[in-house]
Amino acid sequence: MEYVNTAPVAISIHVSSMLTVRGMEGGGTSNASSSCVDVGDGGRSCPSSTRKALLDNLRAALEASEEKHVAIGGCDVKWPFDLTYRKRPGSFPETPLVGMRLLVIGSTLGGYVIDFPSFILEKYVVLILKVNDGQRQYGYRLVSYNSCDDGSWTGETDMDPVRSFWKLYDGLVDLGMDRVMSMIGMSAGVDRCLAVLAHAAEVGPRYGFTCSHFVSICGAYHPFLYKRAKEIFITQRCRVIVVHHKDDRLCEWPPVQAAWEEIQQGMFRAGNVPTVYIAKLHMRSHPYLGNNRHDVEKFVVYQKALWSELLLGPFSHGDNFVDRCSKAHLGFGHTTPPDEQCFKDLVLFTSTRDSHIFMYSRILLLTLATARHAGSTEEYLRIVVKNIREYLSPRELQSTLVLLGMLRVEHKVLVYRFGL
């Protein structure tokens, strides 16, 4: 069931370039099964057939990225992939990714990709599972999406993008990357990430892998994918973070909850402390929450604790993982104080109560005059943030409250994007 996002409208001011734009997102109680197809180097696989071409395309994307999303050349036009990378001094041209891990981000049905803080690029190269070109398919389902046909989100897997992903993974390992990855999916993006794991054995990548973390944000239920990926979650003691609203009207929570709880129990039966943390939201209304109670990424992706956990990678201690997440209130970002927030883009949320970071146009305009003297984008941002924090300090509380009173209630979010 496709819908137009009805979350509060964001006011966007370009400093350099808009990195991501939220499109339409479809949900439904998504399932899927698998279509097992032989792995080959046919014209539709990504990238092109030879290993040399693959590595050349990856090197070109790494060179061009400069911390921005860039398309990987040679990919099937129907199933594109983007890459984000920060160049490191002293890296070798033949193996530029030594010591790096892989962060996989699954895009939504409408192509929306969550934000991530720039410091994550110190340890990760980011691979984005993009929406297909042409008539939309839900996640990596085989047939076109139709909001009136549940078979379009409960059907078989399109194996082309799955095979493409594992070819890219092998190529990145060839370039020196560690065989460790973390995955984050939102809505249909969870389907993409689950499909990659569920069909890994069928595809048979050249290199083994460890999935250290899996973050599921408002993901849909799927009877095949969860069951198939279950073994990986259990045997690798994957640290799983689930964020979902109990009254999600697009991806119903009860079957999703049952699937993750079954994985929890599987970990327990295997003799391990379960490493599945579930943040179930209950509020009936909130400035961050749309009418469908579906888009809940704002409650987790701007929490510093999430990204600090991912940076641990395989060194994350599993036995106290759930306790750490609970202590950090992961998934409940509306309760997170300013010094525990982090942003790639300067995304600041407001609410009539318990506002943790404010950024309104008046504050912004007051800081711009000073920021104009900056010699670089990075310095510009530092000055803006410093001034914003000054305006939000306790001694400025009264003027901030006055400012809040001047603004219309629907102006909940100001997104101030800049190119990094």
| pLDDT tens column, 156-169 | 999 999 999 999 99
User: Quick one: average pLDDT of 318-340?
Assistant: 90
Shared-domain flag, residues 83 and 149: yes
Q: Is the pLDDT of residue 38 over 60?
A: no
Q: Which of 310, 335, 360 is the last residue of a domain?
A: 335
Residue 45 covered by a domain: yes
Q: Is the pLDDT of residue 211 over 90?
A: yes
The region of weakest confidence among 173-187, 198-212, 299-313, 330-344 is: 330-344
Residue 313 covered by a domain: yes
Polymer length of the chain: 420
The alpha carbon dihedral of 342, 345, 348, 349 has a sign of: negative
Instruction: Compare 27 and 49 and report the one with higher pLDDT.
Output: 49
Note whether 43 and 79 are within 8 A (CB).
Answer: no
Residue 403 covered by a domain: yes
> What is the pLDDT at residue 89?
85
> What is the pLDDT at residue 340?
80
Q: Which of 335, 359, 379 is the last residue of a domain?
A: 335
The region of weakest confidence among 114-118, 200-204, 338-342, 386-390 is: 386-390
Shared-domain flag, residues 329 and 357: no
Shared-domain flag, residues 352 and 315: no
pLDDT band at residue 290 using 50, 70 and 90 as cut-offs: confident
Question: Do β-strands 413-417 and 346-349 pair in parallel, antiparallel, or remain unpaired?
Answer: antiparallel
Question: Do β-strands 101-106 and 180-186 pair in parallel, antiparallel, or remain unpaired?
Answer: parallel
Shared-domain flag, residues 395 and 322: no
> What is the pLDDT at residue 90?
82
The region of weakest confidence among 10-19, 172-181, 276-285, 357-366 is: 10-19
Residue 16 covered by a domain: no
Shared-domain flag, residues 202 and 246: yes
User: Quick one: average pLDDT of 204-220?
Assistant: 97
> What is the pLDDT at residue 285?
82
Number of domains making up the chain: 2
Shared-domain flag, residues 378 and 415: yes
> What is the pLDDT at residue 365?
57
Average pLDDT of the chain? 79
Note whether 48 and 57 are within 8 A (CB).
Answer: yes
Q: Which of 309, 335, 361 is the last residue of a domain?
A: 335
Shared-domain flag, residues 180 and 217: yes
pLDDT band at residue 143 using 50, 70 and 90 as cut-offs: very high
Q: Is the pLDDT of residue 382 over 80?
A: no
> What is the pLDDT at residue 389?
62
Residue 340 covered by a domain: no
Shared-domain flag, residues 166 and 279: yes
Instruction: Compare 310 and 418 and report the one with higher pLDDT.
Output: 310
Shared-domain flag, residues 329 and 351: no
> What is the pLDDT at residue 31?
33
Instruction: Compare 34 and 57 and report the one with higher pLDDT.
Output: 57
Query: Residue 255 belongs to what domain range?
Result: 2-11+21-335
State if pTM tops 0.85.
no
Write the CA distances from 121 to 102, 116, 124, 246, integer angstroms: 10, 9, 5, 33
Shared-domain flag, residues 120 and 187: yes
CATH at 301 = 3.40.50.1820
Residue 243 covered by a domain: yes
Write the CA distances from 274 to 10, 233, 303, integer angstroms: 38, 10, 23
pLDDT band at residue 300 using 50, 70 and 90 as cut-offs: very high
pLDDT band at residue 118 using 50, 70 and 90 as cut-offs: confident
Q: Is the pLDDT of residue 27 over 50?
A: no
Shared-domain flag, residues 304 and 183: yes
pLDDT tens for 259-278 read 999 999 999 999 999 999 99
How many Å separate Cα 366 from the centre of its chain? Answer: 33
Shared-domain flag, residues 53 and 91: yes
